[in-house]
């Protein structure tokens, strides 16, 4: 479940990598100007290779292909193409409008309009869509959509949507969704997921790890000891409510929705809420708890002095939970809420709260 968002991106980028190999073989002829007059590791190398299809074994200078530029062995300099730039081992700059592919080692900068692919990378990959690096990645990946690496020794992954490290991640991931097998660094995003997290911190709205030693800063923090419960209940604040409670060793988080916040005799209204609290077991089945929550209320009506379009509320509760069956419990709550307008924080109402319902594990 954790790795499903990765599959489409991996498939697409693997297809680009496979496409690059037969492309270079199909255009083995070097349709370009330039002669191998320099030496690179004792072998003839091109200082300049400019044409439609650049196909050379070694580069020590500049290659510019209108459609493709290919360096089959090794190169030092600039490997540039309008469509796809290909190299086996390159130190320098790889630049194309569509894709860059390094089949062995890339040391330097890959800059592409769509995607960069490197088996081993030391440097930076920058693209509008995606970057992929194999093992031994060291450097920076920056993309508009997603970055994938098979392991990061030292580096940063930065994208708008997704970062993935399938191996050991030593560095920083910054995206809406971050995933790492073993995180020895930090994740900053909306959803952060890792299997093991020996060192570092996860900072996001939802943080998930399969061990309990990770440091997490977020609205919902989940580890193997977290018990996830569904809550369904009635109340005097929002009348009908459903929520998910994430219960850790001694703390818990509640995220939920409520309807008819303005009362049953009014038009439909709803609330989205988040609560954080502490609980204390009394015995094996009974526990008491207290929490503080924030409610965002929508009345779905035009703004007026009597009925504002939206409100916010701070609420506190004392709760009592009793476990009837292994998967079923009941609870009762009492508390107090202060509801205000968003504009200038003017008070709308104060109220005492009574609630009761069931929990399902």
Report the b/e string of 36-74 with b at 16+ CB within 10 A.
bebebeeeebbbbbbbebbbbbbbbbbbbbeebbbbbbb
- Structural domain for 74, as ranges: 4-222
Q: Does 254 lie in the same domain as 206?
A: no
Residues 6+ apart with CB under 8 A from 334: 317, 318, 352, 353, 354, 355
In this structure, are 204 and 335 located in the same domain? no
Rounded to an integer, what is the distance from CA 264 to the centroid of its chain?
40
**Whether residue 165 sits in one domain with residue 48:** yes
Q: What is the CATH number of the domain that holds 351?
A: 2.40.160.20
Could you tell me if 215 and 232 lie in one domain? no
Last residue of a domain, one of 222, 252, 273: 222
Return the pLDDT at 294: 96
Q: Are residues 172 and 66 in the same domain?
A: yes
For the chain, the domain total comes to 2
Residue at which a domain ends, from 189, 222, 255: 222
Give the per-residue pLDDT at 21.
55
pLDDT by residue for the chain (361 residues), tens only, comes to: 445 455 545 545 554 554 455 444 544 666 656 676 776 777 888 888 888 888 888 888 898 888 888 898 898 999 999 989 999 999 999 999 999 999 889 999 999 999 999 999 999 999 999 999 987 789 999 999 999 998 888 999 999 999 999 888 899 999 999 999 988 899 999 999 998 877 889 999 999 988 766 788 888 998 888 899 999 999 999 999 999 999 988 899 999 999 988 877 667 889 999 999 999 999 999 999 999 999 999 988 766 666 788 999 999 999 999 999 999 999 999 999 999 998 888 888 999 999 999 999 8
Question: pTM for the full model?
Answer: 0.80
Buried b (16+ CB within 10 A) or exposed e, 261-289: bbeeeeeebbbebbbebebeeeeeeebeb
**198 and 254 both lie in a single domain:** no
- Among the three residues 222, 252, 267, which one is the final residue of a domain in this structure? 222
Distance between CA atoms of residues 174 and 187, nearest Å:
6
State residue 23's pLDDT score: 46
């Amino acid at each position: 479940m954790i790795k499903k968002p990765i599959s489409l991106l991996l498939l697409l980028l693997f297809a680009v990598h496979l496409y690059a190999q037969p492309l270079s073989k199909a255009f083995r002829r070097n349709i370009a100007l330039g002669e191998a007059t320099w030496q690179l590791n004792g072998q003839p190398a091109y200082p300049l290779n400019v044409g439609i299809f650049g196909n050379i074994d070694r580069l020590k200078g500049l290659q510019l292909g209108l459609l493709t530029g290919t360096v089959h062995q090794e190169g030092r300099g600039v490997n540039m193409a309008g469509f796809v730039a290909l190299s086996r081992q390159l130190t320098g700059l790889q630049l194309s409008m569509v894709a860059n592919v390094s089949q062995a080692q890339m040391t330097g900068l890959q800059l592409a309009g769509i995607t960069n692919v490197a088996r081993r990378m030391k440097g930076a990959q920058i693209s509008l869509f995606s970057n992929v690096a194999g093992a031994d990645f060291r450097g920076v990946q920056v993309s508009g959509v997603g970055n994938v690496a098979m392991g990061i020794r030292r580096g940063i992954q930065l994208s708008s949507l997704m970062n993935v490290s399938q191996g050991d991640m030593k560095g920083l991931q910054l995206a809406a969704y971050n995933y790492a097998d073993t995180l020895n660094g930090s994740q900053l995003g909306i959803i952060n997921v890792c299997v093991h997290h020996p060192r570092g911190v996860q900072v996001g709205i939802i943080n998930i790890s399969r061990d309990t030693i990770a440091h997490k800063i977020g609205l919902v923090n989940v580890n193997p000891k977290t018990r996830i419960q569904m809550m369904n209940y009635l109340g005097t604040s929002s009348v009908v409510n459903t929520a998910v409670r994430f219960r850790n060793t001694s703390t818990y988080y509640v995220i939920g929705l409520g309807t008819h916040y303005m009362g049953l005799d009014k038009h439909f209204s709803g609330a989205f809420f988040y609560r954080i609290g502490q609980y204390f077991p009394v015995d094996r089945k009974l526990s008491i708890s207290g929490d503080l929550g924030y409610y965002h209320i929508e009345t779905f009506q035009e703004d007026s002095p009597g009925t504002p379009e939206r409100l916010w509320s701070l609420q506190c509760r004392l709760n009592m939970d009793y476990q009837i069956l292994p998967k079923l419990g009941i609870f009762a709550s009492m508390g107090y809420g202060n509801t205000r307008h968003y504009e200038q924080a003017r008070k709308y109402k104060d109220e005492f709260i009574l609630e009761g319902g069931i929990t399902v594990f």
